[in-house]
Amino acid sequence: MATGADSIIRTADGVPLKTSLRRATARRRVRTFLLVVPILAFLLITFVFPVIDMLFRSVDNQIVSSVLPRTTLAIQSWDPASEELPPDFVYEALVLDVQDSFEDKTLGRAGRRLNYEQSGVMSLFRKSGRRAKRITEAPFKDQVIAIDNRWADLEIWQLIHQESSKVTASYFLSAVDLQIDYKGEISWKAEERRIYLFLFYRTLWMSALITVFCLLLGYPIAFLLATLPSRHSNLLLILVLLPFWTSLLVRTTAWIALLQSEGVLNDLMVFLGIISEDGRLQMIHNKFGTFVAMTHILLPFMILPLYSVMKTIPSSYMRAARSLGASPFTGFVKVYMPNTVPGIGAGCILVFILSIGYYITPALVGGRTGTFISNIIALHIGETLNWGLAAALGVILLALVLLLYFLYDRIVGVNNMKLG
């Protein structure tokens, strides 16, 4: 300091005041931090790391190069566009790799990975694995082709060449129904194999419609909750919250019991003569079932933010509007509704985001036509074990949610959102 040491203000024990203050705030900061360490650690381990892992898995492609290290190295010297089979030393590398990996039982993993891109590779690898140990000396090419003449096809070598790099875009491309060939050209998959874009589209429009249903059903209830005397509104609030205390599975299966063709609703309509015995309606395991069950399950997430916002709107607003000459309807539309926009925004974004990632209900009541993208992700995680594709689909879903949130922030403003 230019004015000299004496101008520094010191505390009673001679420490400069600045230092002393900094120490005190630092201590407080450490204490605050220690309080959140457990939850932070919990979230890191159970949420952040898995998400990061998922991000890596969606582009990770180390299986082929780790199972077939010699082959993937050797094939780099071959030009996949050359219309010629790779030279003999590539076949030699393949034989050695297959012998090794058959021994330590990793060959199947590479086979499954390549099978995602081209069906039949799995069985080719299995067959070659069993027979490759008999090949011991050159020339390798003919002996390998003798095992299975698919080794004489250019496609399999083009595929191995393409998938020998450690990262790949092929999961992401598949997730949007695209494919890449050995030349690096991207093209649409065959018509009958395009499913994901359609599922994304269905997930989005069905979620949007579910959000609209929730808003239409939830708004009047929230309004009642906020305006009724507390004696009645407390009871109503309990009714709104009741679903939260019931298991999700119970609620979903209850809809199955109600809506199935031998279910309560159909029986009632047959009994009342509205429909004939043969004309029982199919109301479950299709889109209709998903709409009904999802709207019911997500309704509280719409009502509660709306209610919390409406609760803060003074009753004098409506009275003022009416005293100023607005009819009850005009007053409601021009004064009350604009003040509930933060609640509408919060409820809609909450329901929509929950909805596009919803899994259990569409899985149970959606049938073939009412399932969401999350159901196909679950399928790839649990059954086909194509985790890379599942991860890519998950990343796209995550990006979609973030994009929508960003748009919402641009249009409505997140600060205008009120959750309670």
List Cβ neighbours of 330 (8 Å cut-off, separation of 6 or more).
321
Residue among 123 and 312 whose Cβ is closer to other proteins: 312
Total residues binding other proteins (CB under 8 A): 20
Nearer to other proteins, 118 or 339 (CB): 339
CB within 8 Å of 156: residues ≥ 6 apart: 118, 121, 124, 150
Binding piece for other proteins, criterion CB under 8 A, among 65-73, 181-189, 226-234, 322-330: 322-330
**Separation of alpha carbons 373 and 357, rounded Å:** 8
Which residue's structure tokens are 């790779």? 86
List the one residue out of 160, 159, 144 whose CA is nearest residue 89.
144
Q: Which of 38, 184, 229, 325 binds other proteins (CB under 8 A)?
A: 325
- Distance CA(236)–CA(239), nearest Å, equals 5
Cβ of residue 341: shortest distance to other proteins, in angstroms? 8
Smallest separation (angstroms) from other proteins to the CB of 227: 14
**Nearest one of 346, 106, 334 to 211, comparing CA atoms:** 346
Interacting residue with other proteins among 11, 123, 246, 327 (CB under 8 A): 327
Count Cα atoms within 13 angstroms, Cβ side, for 300.
Answer: 13
Q: Which is nearer to other proteins, 331 or 394 (CB)?
A: 331
Cβ 211 to other proteins shortest distance, Å: 23
Q: How far is the C-alpha of 298 from the C-alpha of 141, rounded, in Å?
A: 61
Cis peptide before 139 (omega within 30 of 0): yes
Residues 290-319 contacting other proteins, CB under 8 A: 314, 316-317, 319
In whole angstroms, the minimum distance from the beta carbon of 322 to other proteins comes to 4
Question: Taking CB under 8 A as the criterion, which residues in 329-388 touch other proteins?
Answer: 330-331, 334-335, 338-339, 341
Could you tell me how far CA 140 lies from the centroid of its own chain? 46
Scan for tokens 């491309």, then name that residue.
173
Q: What x-and-dash track marks residues 99-138 binding other proteins by CB under 8 A?
A: ----------------------------------------
For the chain, helix (H) and strand (E) counts, in that order, are: 21, 2
| Binding status of residue 326 toward other proteins by CB under 8 A | yes
Is 324 near other proteins (CB under 8 A)?
yes
Contact characters 36-75, other proteins, x per CB under 8 A: ----------------------------------------
Query: How far are the Cα atoms of 94, 252, 273, 278, 287 from residue 268, in angstroms, in the given order?
Result: 67, 20, 8, 14, 22
Q: Give the residues lining the site for other proteins (CB under 8 A).
A: 314, 316-317, 319-328, 330-331, 334-335, 338-339, 341
